[in-house]
Structure 1
């Protein structure tokens, strides 16, 4: 995908200190072939601005996808990512039949325990030179 305005591309906001979240970003970078997503850590200036712009409480414990001028949280954010991945990952969209309350409950359980289960970094993820254009500061 050619470089375009930030407003035209989905933005994935993630906890830059969380190993699970960083692994999810790495997964997207490997699998998403058209380079659609931009990334912003929740700890970055741009991440904080987006949280404020979309009235997302700082206590929200989720990756966040900003797409089509809307913010998606919890399982809905994951489904937004799945739509951008190769067809075999989009098969997971069938899980949307599970009631949102149940999906989000499971998401929150993992999110609540992510540092204990997957560890925490001392500092936010630094993009490589090739990835730098996709990370918002």
Structure 2
């Protein structure tokens, strides 16, 4: 099943937010691992976090496909909304430092890198597992998580 891409209208839509937000699949073990890393490498809390299953995602994202294998990570910064490999590249760029190395995948044509991204996303539950419910942030993490 083809993954719906953000339309050019949505992808180029100018948005305004105080802090960037990473939207992730709260039931995906791999996605939660990425969030754990994000929490460690961004201790200042410059990037907020919201599950795709939550009300913040419903407010800021286009409708998600019914097929969860077609879901994507999204990254919303002060100006744009990114998905799939572009979202990952933008998060790494925002984090800076050693994470900037991963922005080099941006030289690869988007259709190729998104095909690789889609393969991993389609198989993430089988390869890494699935939680029965979304993660519950610790008391310390709660200020970073949006509902």
Pairwise TM-score range, normalised by the shorter structure: 0.7 to 0.9
Instruction: Give the TM-score of the pair, scaled to structure 1.
Output: 0.87
SS at match of 2:131: coil
Is 1:42 matched with 2:52? yes
Residues matched between the structures, number: 128
In the alignment, the residues of structure 2 paired with residue 76 and residue 86 of structure 1 have an alpha-carbon distance, to the nearest angstrom, of 15
Q: Partners in 2 of 1:95 and 1:120 — Cα distance?
A: 27
Q: When the two structures are superposed, what TM-score results if normalisation uses the length of structure 2?
A: 0.82
Unaligned runs of 5+ in 2: 1-15
Structure 2 residue aligned with 1:18: 28
Determine if contact 1:75/1:107 at 8 Å carries over to the other structure.
Answer: yes
**Which structure 1 segments of 5+ residues have no match?**
1-5
Match of 1:75 among 82, 85, 107: 85
> Which residue of 2 is the match for residue 57 of structure 1?
63
Report runs of 4+ in structure 1 exceeding 6 Å deviation. Answer: none
Question: Match of 1:113, SS?
Answer: helix
Structure 2 residue 15 is matched with structure 1 residue 9: no
Is structure 2 residue 117 aligned with structure 1 residue 107? yes
